[in-house]
């Protein structure tokens, strides 16, 4: 019997004490928040902290779950979005981040060109305590279902 194969990913909005948020410019999707795939044996929080460290050089504490996102077009992906806070470290770049920058909250959305990333960033910036659940496909981006839990 074949078992379904899903990519599990984590990402989120990391806030600096001065109110700015962390953005990275990746090689594939332009400006976005840090994140990536959960590796075997990792929990969601550990995976997100590792991705932040790898992509930006900073350490962050992870807080509220903001959203659960299901890409139902192959390769299928289940992504979890979190809020987090800067703890320590200086911004650096990596093969996954061509640029890293602390950006004013009010200007973050203007930098994002990928529609799925834009919607997720909006969820994080507008988070009021209700978790977003969005089912979508990419290429072209189309939202199939959206609700707040």
CATH number at residue 141: 3.90.79.10
Range of the domain at 82: 7-148
Residue 94 lies in a domain: yes
Residue 65 lies in a domain: yes
Q: Is 1 within a domain?
A: no
**How many domains are there within the chain?**
1
In tens, the pLDDT along 45-61 reads 999 999 999 999 999 99
pLDDT of res. 112:
96
Look at residue 42 and tell me if it is in a domain.
yes
> How many Å apart are CA 4 and CA 60, to the nearest integer?
32
Domain-embedded: residue 130: yes
The rounded distance, in Å, linking the Cα atoms of 70 and 145 is 10
What is the spatial distance between Cα 49 and Cα 135, in angstroms, rounded to a whole number? Answer: 25
Say if residue 3's pLDDT is above 90. no
Asked if 117 and 46 touch (Cβ cutoff 8 Å), the reply is no
**DSSP-derived 3-state class of residue 120:** helix
Segment 77-95, tens digit of pLDDT: 999 999 999 999 999 999 8
């Amino acid at each position: 019997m074949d078992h379904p194969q899903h990519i599990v990913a984590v990402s989120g909005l990391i806030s600096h004490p001065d109110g700015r948020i962390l953005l990275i410019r990746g090689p594939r999707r332009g400006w976005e928040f840090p994140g990536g795939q959960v590796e075997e044996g990792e929990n969601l929080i550990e995976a997100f902290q590792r991705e932040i460290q790898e992509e930006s050089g900073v350490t962050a504490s992870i807080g509220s779950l903001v959203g659960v996102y299901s890409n139902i077009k192959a390769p299928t992906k289940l992504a979890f979005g979190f809020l987090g806070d800067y703890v320590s470290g200086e911004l650096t770049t990596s093969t996954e981040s061509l640029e890293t920058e602390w950006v004013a909250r009010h200007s973050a959305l203007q930098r994002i060109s990928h529609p799925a990333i834009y919607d997720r960033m909006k969820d994080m910036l507008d988070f009021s305590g209700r978790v977003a659940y969005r089912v979508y496909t990419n290429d072209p981006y189309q939202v199939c279902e959206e609700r707040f839990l």
